[in-house]
Amino acid sequence: MDAILTLVADRAATSLTPLDIETVSALSGGREEAVLSPGEAVDIACHAVSPAQFGAIRDALRDRPVDILLTSRHNRRKRVLVADMDSTMVANETLDDIAAGAERLRPGIGEAVAAVTRQSMNGEIDFQTSLRNRVALLKDLPASLLDTAAAHLSLNEGARTLVATMRASGAVTALVSGGFTFFTARVAALCGFSENHANRLVHAGDTLTGTVEEPVLGPDAKLDHLKRIVAAAGLTLNDALTIGDGANDLPMLRAAGLGIAFHAKPVVRREISDRIDHTSLRSALFAQGYSVTDFRE
C-alpha cells in the first residue's frame, strides 16, 4: 500500500470513533496502520486514491469535524517548510489590523481595507494591485499603528509546535508573507523560523507614506523563495511542505510535494485537495506521519 489517509479530529469538539475509521477504511480499501494521537489522529494505509474516491471519503464524514489528508508513503516527512503568515501562522490579517487601529483617525478605513483584503484572498483582484491600493489608504497615518497591531498578534494553535518539530528533524523553515517584515520578524522569532521574507512599508519619520517598497512580494515571489530554499538545501520540490490560506499562496501550494490549504478561502479549497478545515496546524505534522510523542514545543 503506497498511500496514507490521515484522519485528524478537532479535539476540542470530538474524538475519532471506530465508525470514522471503519468508514474511511471501507471506502479506500485500506486498513488502520498507526494511531498518531489517541482519539485525535490515525493513519490508514491504502492504495492510490482517485480524486473522485477521495471526494467520496470526505463526503462520508462531512458532518464530522474531522480533517482527512492524503499523502504518499514515499518521502512523507518533508525537509523544507514554507508557510504563509496572515490567517495561517497567526489568526490576524495584519494589514486589516493596522487599518482597524486607525478608525478613530480615519473613520471607515477599517472596512475599506478589509473589503479589498477579502477580494484579494479570494482571487478576485491581483495581489500586487490590492496591496498597493490598501497601503495607499494608510498615507499620512502614524507608524505607531504597526506597534499597536503587533501587540495583538495571536499565534494559531500548533504554530510553534509545527516549526519546532520540523526543525528538530532537520527541516529548513521559512515564513514567506505578502504582509510586512515588521510582523514577520516578530512571528518568525516567536515560532523559531530559520528565515522570514515579506514586504516593507515605507515611512517618513513617524508617518506612513502610503507606499510599499518595490517589487511587491506576491504569489510568484513566494514560489521563487520556495524554489530557492529547496535548491540551496540540495533538495527537490517534492521534499517541501507549503501551507497557506489565500489565492496568493496557490503557486507555492501547487508546486510543493505537500501543499496544505489551512482554513482556506473558497478559491483555494476548490483547488487544493489536502486541507485543514476543522483542526489546527498540528495536522500538518500528523500528515507527515509524526506521532504526538514526536512533537516538540
Find out whether the peptide bond into 215 is cis, omega within 30 degrees of 0. Answer: yes
| CA–CA distance, 287 with 87 (Å, rounded to integer) | 20
Calculate the alpha carbon distances from 94 to 18, 32, 68, 82, 206 in Å.
Answer: 41, 41, 29, 19, 19
| CA–CA distance, 149 with 171 (Å, rounded to integer) | 30
Please count the other Cβ atoms lying within 10 Å of the Cβ belonging to residue 291.
14
Which residue in the list 86, 97, 249, 274 is annotated as catalytic? 86
Which residue in the list 20, 43, 84, 96 is annotated as catalytic? 84
Query: Is 86 an active-site residue?
Result: yes
3-state helix, strand and coil shares in percent for the chain, rounded to the nearest 5: 40, 25, 35
Q: Provide the β-strand partners of residue 204.
A: 207
Q: Provide the β-strand partners of residue 212.
A: 201
Using only C-alpha atoms, the chain has a radius of gyration, in whole angstroms, of: 20
Element (H, E) at 241: strand 240-244
CA 147 from chain centre, in angstroms, equals 24
| CA–CA distance, 163 with 142 (Å, rounded to integer) | 33
Please count the other Cβ atoms lying within 10 Å of the Cβ belonging to residue 10.
17
Sign of CA dihedral 31, 35, 40, 46: negative
Pairing of strands 41-46, 80-83: unpaired
Query: CB of 130 within 8 A of CB of 117?
Result: yes
Element (H, E) at 250: helix 250-255
Residue 283 grid coordinates: 495536522
Active-site residues, by number, are 84, 86
